[in-house]
């Protein structure tokens, strides 16, 4: 039986035990990345993960990304981070992109009480913010997201819920009664969310 997008993001919601938090490092070799270009067009691509260093990582891509562009990175081992491009250098037919991770000011990572649906995005300053959301399925590959705050339009967001996460592109964000409702196009495949056990 095929599950809707909102269904798989809400599936598996449970209260986290004290000490459970998302994994902070990745051993994956590839990741999905998403970003918004200067014309407001959302892009998603697979990237090969290269050298890791304190506060960032090198990526190998088939596409150029402009310096200072914020990106989202998710991998199949549950790793997710917002980052900013520090440089992009063409080497033969590929690009080496060095990114530095952005600080997460959303308060929705470690110590989050529930694994309910949430969304994170970057503000113009490169600060990561987020909030709890409620999801409804829309047209194929789209979600209707209700939340307490407005989203920047256009923007690329990280949607997490239950045991899954994906990247989305915000198409619109409008105020309705006592909340904001956004239309979000899913631009990456669903990846598992990693929950680590504190030792």
CATH code for the domain of 58 = 2.40.10.220
Of 101, 123, 157, the last residue of a domain is 101
Of the residues 101, 132, 164, which one is the last residue of a structural domain?
A: 101
Where is the domain boundary, 74, 101, 128? 101
Is pLDDT of 17 > 90? no
> Residue 135: what pLDDT?
87
* The total number of structural domains that make up the chain: 2
Name the strand (E) or helix (H) holding 187. none
Q: What is the DSSP letter of 12?
A: T
Rounded CA-CA distance 31/61 in Å is: 10
Q: What is the pTM of this model?
A: 0.77
**Together in a domain, 15 and 91:** no
- Residues 37 and 116 grouped into a single domain: no
Q: Are residues 124 and 160 in the same domain?
A: yes
Both 75 and 57 in one domain: the answer is yes
Q: How confident is the model at residue 138 (pLDDT cuts 50, 70, 90)?
A: confident
Q: What is the CATH number of the domain that holds 12?
A: 2.30.110
Position of tokens 């530095």?
100
Contact 113, 58 (CB under 8 A): no
Domain range for residue 170? 5-21+104-196
User: Same domain for 182 and 112?
Assistant: yes
Residues 109 and 191 in one domain: yes
Mean pLDDT of the chain: 81
pLDDT tens by residue, 141-159: 899 999 998 888 999 999 9
Residues 136 and 40 both lie in one domain: no
Q: Give SS3 for 147.
A: strand
Alpha helix locations (H) across the chain? 5-10
Same domain assignment for residues 125 and 95: no
Residues in the chain: 199
């Amino acid at each position: 039986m095929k599950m809707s997008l909102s269904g798989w993001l809400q599936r598996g919601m449970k209260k986290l035990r004290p000490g459970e938090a998302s994994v902070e490092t990745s051993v994956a070799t590839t990741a999905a990345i998403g970003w918004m270009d200067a014309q407001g067009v959302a892009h998603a691509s697979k990237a090969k993960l290269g050298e890791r260093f304190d506060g960032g990582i090198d990526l190998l891509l088939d596409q150029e990304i402009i310096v200072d562009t914020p990106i989202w990175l998710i991998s199949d081992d549950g790793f997710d981070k917002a980052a900013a491009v520090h440089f992009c250098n063409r080497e033969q037919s590929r690009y080496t992109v060095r990114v530095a991770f952005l600080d997460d000011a959303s308060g929705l990572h470690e110590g989050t009480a529930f694994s309910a649906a949430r969304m994170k995005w970057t503000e113009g300053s490169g600060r990561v913010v987020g909030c709890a959301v409620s999801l409804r399925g829309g047209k194929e590959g789209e979600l209707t997201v209700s939340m307490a705050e407005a989203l920047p339009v256009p923007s690329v967001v990280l949607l997490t819920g239950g045991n899954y996460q994906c990247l989305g592109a915000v198409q619109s964000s409008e105020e309705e009664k006592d909340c904001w409702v956004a239309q979000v196009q899913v631009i990456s495949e669903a990846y598992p969310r990693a929950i680590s056990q504190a030792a």
